[in-house]
A and B are shown apart, each in its own frame.
Chain A
Amino acid sequence: MRQTQSSAGAAFDEMSAADGAVRAAYAELAGWLERMPASQTDAKRREADLLFRRLGITFAVYGEGGDPERLIPFDLIPRVITGREWEALSEGLVQRVRALNAFLYDVYHGMNIVRAGKIPKDLVVANSQYRPEMIGVALPGNVYTHIAGIDVVRVSENQFYVLEDNARTPSGVSYMLENREAMMRLFPELFSANRVRPVGHYPDELLKSLRSLPPENCLNKDEPTVVVMTPGAYNSAYFEHVFLAEQMGVELVEGQDMFVDDGFVYMRTVAGPKRVDTIYRRLDDAFIDPAAFNPESVLGVRGLFDAYRRGNVNLANAVGTGVADDKSVYPYVPEMVRFYLGEEPKLANVPTYTLRNKDDLKYALEHLPELVVKEVHGSGGYGMLVGPKSTKAEIEDFRQRILANPDNYIAQPTLALSTCPTFVDEGVAPRHVDLRPYLLVGKDVKLVPGGLTRVALRAGSLVVNSSQGGGTKDTWVLEE
């Protein structure tokens, strides 16, 4: 099967060089694609669909009508990263997550970075994600973001950019695992022809990482009791919560399954109350404890935050990590690396205009048709403007929104995100991709090779979010 389109514009194509030559890492895959008859690809795509449906690998979209249980489209063509590229990338990622954790510790213990004049104070303390309740609270290992997803895009052979940090409850790792599982079932022969580094040990690493930081007053520090806490079956990522709990072999609990007695957290089991040491919680700060935060929350556990502050239970991720992944704080992450680690950042940020700055605002308003504008607190690809893909009316509408509240926005040049060959209706065509590797921070920082590759399935689209019609690919990191 041949590609029906050449590379999309000037974007870097990960499979083929500008002269059409296939890059070494994709050599096997290109041959495989070439040999595969169209009838087989159709059959395999249907098989993959069935597989995901049967496994219940869905995500929920509410409020848009139709079946809320949707499949994220899975593309059969893997995305390949060489071992050498991965080594460089992972060094940058580890460095970045260490800096983010150092920053989080600092903003709740003295604010040295603010006092040094490296970041404006109000960006921290006036940030809605900043939790003054956390000031002075001692956490095991001083770790705040235990599980971080750092979104990376590629624009050329050697240039990767960090698009955004996710330091709260990044999701999607189950797709990384299931995509690999699906590929190995559908095309086992590919895995004997290519030396792909495994990712299946992620749940083991996650459990080890969570267990490596027991709370101060844990009874059995060698084997702390870990649980996954979910907001419940109606959460869009519920499937993932079930999946991770199952894979780690720990209980999946809801708020109603736990209670606090004398400052300790217990879950209700058929054999009586059982003490809980570490909670991998998949719900926002605001909902974890009605006594400490949103009093309306029925999803949380009354007294949980107090138990946490006393060192009787650990939470992953910590309370108050949102202040580090906010888009208004993002431009300062390279500075964090320099400030806390005394190193130069190995992974660059996308050049960013902070519209709270007058000069940046002026520039952005003059160049809206070329820029991507994002809300500082937005996520999921909602509330953003992609200048080159928008109509005049849309741009004008956005201009008014920016003028009404410039602090709420940042702008970035529209990047030519790299493309990967992808099955589309017309055959195989290049589509833009990003990458979300998952970092595990316990006593050490760990990451499994690869991550979740998201692909924008619409021709030319740069928005890869699953809620906006994005799909996913298996991500291969090759052994050198």
Chain B
Amino acid sequence: MLSRAADSLYWMSRYMERAENTARLLDVSYRMSLTATDAYSQQTQWEPALVVAGCEAPFKETGKKIDARNVIEYLALAADNPSSIRSALWMARENARAMRTQITTEMWEALNATWLEMRAFDYAKIEAMGLRAFFDWVKERSHLFRGVGYGTMTRDAAYRFVRVGTFLERADATARLLDVKYHVLLPSTRDVGGAVDYYQWGALLRSVSAFQAYRRLYRDAIVPRRVAELLVLREDMPRSLRSCFRELTRLLDELREMFGRDYVSARLADQMYNRLRFETIDNINKQGLHEFLTEVVENNAEIGKAIAKDFGLDF
């Protein structure tokens, strides 16, 4: 298999997953903004979304005011923002186009149709359909793409590169999403544990499709410690860090066996997975959740670099 093919497949699924996670990020920000009190300005409400998406600096360069419309427009629709949902869907489709022989016709059709629909959206249109409906649409298209790939691809190296892209991107997104709460400044410590706090943690859970899971698993009020535990350490939560790293470790291991080579990326992923297996949430909180999540995001970047090196993607 050509390195360029692996590269395209890996980025195709990373971009699709990125589009989905940006939609989730906007969804949680939007939900949080609906429960805002007077103490929250639009600025404090929407700035975290930019920070978490890594788009704070380029947004500032546009000179626009931070408010709901401008941030949503920038993160969802802006063609000149390489991190927007629109750009991610375009890049996913272009990577697929470059390697159409490596994916199934159904996958191509799912990606291509998504892009063709995306191309027609502007702010007026997504406002008219409802912002939440738009975020749901992005998530659905991503579910469809992933499901079609899962249901139609032969289980070869190509399939594994697609999945590696998905889980590395997801691990990154979950860490960043969980961190959004850290960046939402509370007006005063008095509010911690209060109603606003409850809704915000709830919004976070919903944005990663974990609200019901939380209720079922804990049968308890929403408390930050458990939300963090759920999204970091639970192996049975499909978007948790531990679950992502279990998949990554397994996939990279299978590639190792397939090609009979040793990979730095496999070792790094395995180290992280083992840490997550034996870590406790109290321990993480002692270090500081934000510090821990920052470390995970940095580690993900290292794994990304190692993957590029291991499979010759960085030519």
Contact = CB atoms under 8 A, between A and B. Distances in A.
Contact of B312 (A56, A245, A251, A272): A272
A270 interface: yes
Contacts of A267: 2
Contacts of B6: 270
B261 A251 contact: no
Contacts of A5: none
Given A251-B2, A254-B4, A257-B4, A271 B97 contact: no
Contacts of B315: 256, 268
**Majority DSSP secondary structure for residues of A touching B:** mixed
Given A268-B312, A269-B312, A271-B261, A245 B2 contact: no
B4 A242 contact: no
A242 B103 CA distance: 13
A253 interface: yes
Most chain B Cβ neighbours within 10 Å, of A252, A254, A271: A271
B83 to A, nearest CB: 25
Nearest to A274: B2
Interface in A244-276: 245-246, 251-254, 256-257, 267-272
Which bucket holds chain A's interface residue count?
Answer: 10 to 19
B98 interface: yes
A418 B261 CA distance: 61
Most chain B Cβ neighbours within 10 Å, of A242, A253, A269: A269
A271 B1 contact: yes
Contact of A269 (B1, B98, B161): B1
A253 B3 CA distance: 10
Contacts of A257: 2-4
A246 B255 CA distance: 23
A55 B35 CA distance: 50
A270 B101 contact: no
Interface in B1-29: 1-4, 6
A252 B255 CA distance: 22
Contact of A233 (B97, B105, B261, B312): B97
A477 B239 CA distance: 59
Interface string B255-272: 100011100000000000
Interface string A45-72: 0000000001010000000000000000
Interface residues of B, number: 19
Nearest to A251: B2
A269 B261 contact: no
A419 B36 CA distance: 77
Contacts of B97: 233
A383 to B, nearest CB: 33
A270 B100 contact: no
A366 B288 CA distance: 94
A113 B118 CA distance: 63
A270 B98 contact: no
Interface in A213-248: 233, 242, 245-246
A465 to B, nearest CB: 26
Contacts of B259: 270-272
Contact of A252 (B101, B105, B157, B261): B101
A298 B311 CA distance: 23
A271 B97 CA distance: 23
Interface in A262-313: 267-272
Contact of A242 (B1, B101, B255, B311): B101
A242 B1 CA distance: 15
A113 B145 CA distance: 62
Contacts of B100: 56, 242
Contacts of B105: 54
A81 to B, nearest CB: 33
Interface in B82-139: 97-98, 100-101, 105
Contacts of B98: 233
Nearest to A54: B105
Given A256-B315, A271-B259, 15 more contacts: A242-B100, A251-B2, A252-B101, A254-B4, A257-B3, A257-B4, A269-B1, A269-B2, A269-B312, A270-B6, A270-B157, A270-B255, A270-B311, A271-B1, A271-B260
5 contacts: A251-B2, A253-B2, A256-B315, A271-B260, A272-B261
